[in-house]
Chain A
Amino acid sequence: MATFVDRYPDEAAVVKACLTVSFTALAIGAFFGLVQALHRTDYFRFISSVDYYTVLTGHGVLLALVFTIFFLVGLFTWAVVQSLERPMPDIRLTWAWFGLTTTGAVFAAVAILAGLIPSIDMSADVLYTFYAPLQAHPLFYIGLAMFIVGTWLAGADWFLAYRDWRGDNPDERIPLQTFMVLTTMLMWYLSTLGVAVSVVVFLIPWSFGLVETVNPLLTRTLFWYFGHPVVYFWLMPAYLMWYTVLPKLAGGRLFSDPLARVVFVLFLLLSTPVGIHHQYLDPGIAEGFKFIAMTNTMFLLLPSLLTAFTVVASVEHGARQRGGKGYIKWLGALPWRDPAFTGMALAGAMFAAGGFSGMINAGMNINYLIHNTLWVPGHFHLTVGTAVALTMMAGSYWLVPQLTGKRLYSRPIGLLQVVMWFVGMVFMSNAMHRAGLVGIPRRTAEPQYQSFDFNAVIGTVGELQAQIALGGTLLFLSVVLFVFNILLSAIEDPIENPVDDSLPAPLSGASGSPRVLDDLRLWTAIAVVLVILAYTLPLASIVGDAGWFGNVPGVPVWVSANVEALGDLLREVVA
């Protein structure tokens, strides 16, 4: 039986290239994470607290944008090709978007990493949330713009493949994996308009000095217009694997194809008009608009709860097919020996915890308690840091053999790796949440205020620091094991059938569901209307208050020569 690489060798080469970039970013970003964990907790410091922000930016950008999105574009290419059962329309276009996206990512990474080398007058220590007034080197913004345009072209490539397929299959329902890819990309097109406008119209001219000032609230709002939907851009590849691969690994079939489609439609509709919930403490946005964003955000719980039901039902079905019985005992019949299954299952379990802490973030009043504290990284290390990252690593144990035609080097090492990630994240995120509750801030190398001690409600702050350092170390070791396992898998000898890559049909297929679910134009139109309703008035108000280009000169983080001038600028911004 031929596997993916035998059927589509050109596409497999592109997917492998995407995963190579993704895992390289993962390795560097994970090392930066270890440095941060040990530095902040004061266990081991070998960089200055100034360089901490370079490392922090590198960690955020390399993991949250490069690792996740390169995995996504690889996975989505695989999903489109194998679910439409045809190669990409023009492999040159596929390589073109890969080249553009990679070049953009390298530009951004160079601008960030140059901050560690004092002799190079270039830096981009603006953190992952790269809005004004912190100003990065122009190369950083140019790289980001190329990266985003690259993902747009990737989406265009998948839509072209779908168009060709539709021409040959006018009456067929869209295959589920392709449906997931297309709805996710429609959401991405809609949401990246904000960051594209922010980067191209405001940040690039501003970083080049073509315009002198910027409106920080406008760039913040445009960033968060994109900054929350990007969360679902990370999450949708994980959902794709939970819905279509995890049931198969469990020995069963997807419980309901129509429910999966409903979930992806809901994410297309609801992901974008919620970004203002990241700005509850921003002055200049009326409370009413924030309330609307909160309400929209709470609606997003619906597709997540639908997913919890559908995926668990599918996994239970698999367990019962394997002889599992009883209310709880069926869990014992699941294939825990398989690192791909165990990793995805553990990731899903932790996503539940991340969802609950996310409800705290989303609540307007209770958000004030944890805003800008360690609670927030505690939350997103459960969501993007585990639900997404662990699913991607676990999924790789099933996906990579299809792309290489070689067996996985070691399943026991894979199992140890995913369990180690789970344990490390339990230690680290639990401590971060608890530290956030007592007000310990995020985004700082020196979290302690002078003449003030944080008092943990339960235990001590020292215990929380120890948990963070231990958790961060385990997470780094887990990534080392992952990279080691994948690298050694790459040098195995090819075999005929390295993995069973067939995907069984759902228990409840698409044929019985309303065809309107596949009407992508309708859902896109509704999503656009919702965005217009949520954002027109807030944006008009922000521009009305301070103008398009505002009156803030900015704080260039790469000007290293004149500290006094930098101080003046800071005072001006604060004033």
Chain B
Amino acid sequence: MTLSRAQLLVLVAFSIPVAIELRVLFGFFGIDLPLVAVVAFEAVFLLLIAVAYMVGAEPKSATKH
């Protein structure tokens, strides 16, 4: 799967409400998720998106022509 820069930006944006609401979701089950866990989740998520972007990116030579 190739990700464009615009798609990358939108995915990063969508990860933020997911991360924020993660604590609420866990709260439904009586688990008090600490803030640092949310930050770690977001960091891992961003890392995965970045890897997906770099793996899927076309090599530079392919875009020159």
Chain A residues contacting B57 (CB-CB under 8 Å) are none
B20: which of A346, A419, A422, A430 is its contact (CB, 8 Å)?
A430
Label chain B's interface by main secondary structure. helix
Within 8 Å of chain B (Cβ to Cβ): is A415? yes
Within 8 Å of chain B (Cβ to Cβ): is A337? yes
A332: which of B7, B20, B21, B32 is its contact (CB, 8 Å)?
B7
Contact B13 A457 (CB under 8 A): no
Given contacts A427-B20, A458-B32, whether A419 and B27 have CB atoms under 8 Å apart is no
CB contact list, B7-54 vs A, under 8 A: 7, 9-10, 13, 16-17, 20-21, 23-24, 27, 32, 35
Contact B13 A336 (CB under 8 A): no
- Please give me the residue from chain A that is nearest to B19 by CB atom: A426
Output the least CB separation between B6 and chain A (Å): 4
How many interface contacts (CB-CB < 8 Å) are there between A and B? 42
Within 8 Å of chain B (Cβ to Cβ): is A186? no
- Please give me the residue from chain B that is nearest to A425 by CB atom: B17
Chain A residues contacting B6 (CB-CB under 8 Å) are 336-337, 342, 415
Contact code string A436-477 (vs B, CB < 8 Å = 1, else 0) = 000000000000000000000111000100010000000000
A336: which of B1, B10, B17, B35 is its contact (CB, 8 Å)?
B10
Q: How far is the CA of A423 from the CA of B20 in the complex (A)?
A: 11
Contact B16 A426 (CB under 8 A): yes
Contact B35 A419 (CB under 8 A): no
Contact A422 B32 (CB under 8 A): no
Contact B13 A419 (CB under 8 A): yes
Within 8 Å of chain B (Cβ to Cβ): is A503? no
Contact B35 A459 (CB under 8 A): yes
Contact B10 A342 (CB under 8 A): yes
Label chain A's interface by main secondary structure. helix
Within 8 Å of chain B (Cβ to Cβ): is A416? yes
A458: which of B1, B4, B24 is its contact (CB, 8 Å)?
B24
Q: How far is the CA of A546 from the CA of B20 in the complex (A)?
A: 49
Chain B residues contacting A337 (CB-CB under 8 Å) are 4-6
A423: which of B16, B21, B27, B35 is its contact (CB, 8 Å)?
B16
Contact B27 A458 (CB under 8 A): yes
Contact A332 B17 (CB under 8 A): no
A430: which of B10, B21, B32 is its contact (CB, 8 Å)?
B21
Output the least CB separation between B61 and chain A (Å): 22
Given contacts A416-B9, A419-B13, A423-B16, whether A336 and B4 have CB atoms under 8 Å apart is yes
Output the least CB separation between A213 and chain B (Å): 48
Output the least CB separation between A543 and chain B (Å): 46
Q: How far is the CA of A419 from the CA of B35 in the complex (A)?
A: 24
Contact A463 B35 (CB under 8 A): yes
Output the least CB separation between A462 and chain B (Å): 10
Contact A423 B13 (CB under 8 A): yes
Contact B23 A458 (CB under 8 A): yes
Output the least CB separation between B35 and chain A (Å): 7
Output the least CB separation between A346 and chain B (Å): 7
Output the least CB separation between A481 and chain B (Å): 14
Output the least CB separation between B57 and chain A (Å): 15
Q: How far is the CA of A416 from the CA of B5 in the complex (A)?
A: 11
Output the least CB separation between A514 and chain B (Å): 40
- Please give me the residue from chain A that is nearest to B25 by CB atom: A458
Output the least CB separation between B46 and chain A (Å): 13
Contact A419 B9 (CB under 8 A): yes
Contact code string A397-427 (vs B, CB < 8 Å = 1, else 0) = 0000000000000000001100100110011
Contact B27 A346 (CB under 8 A): no
Output the least CB separation between A394 and chain B (Å): 13
Chain B residues contacting A434 (CB-CB under 8 Å) are 24
> Which 10 pairs across A and B sit closest by C-beta, in order of nearness?
A336-B6, A337-B6, A426-B17, A458-B27, A419-B13, A458-B23, A336-B7, A422-B13, A336-B10, A423-B13
**Could you list 18 further interchain pairs (A-B, Cβ under 8 angstroms) beyond the known A336-B10, A415-B9, A467-B20?**
A332-B1, A332-B7, A336-B7, A336-B9, A337-B5, A337-B6, A342-B6, A346-B13, A419-B10, A419-B13, A423-B13, A423-B16, A427-B16, A427-B20, A434-B24, A458-B24, A458-B32, A459-B35
Interface of A with B (CB < 8 Å)?
Answer: 332, 336-337, 342, 346, 415-416, 419, 422-423, 426-427, 430, 434, 457-459, 463, 467
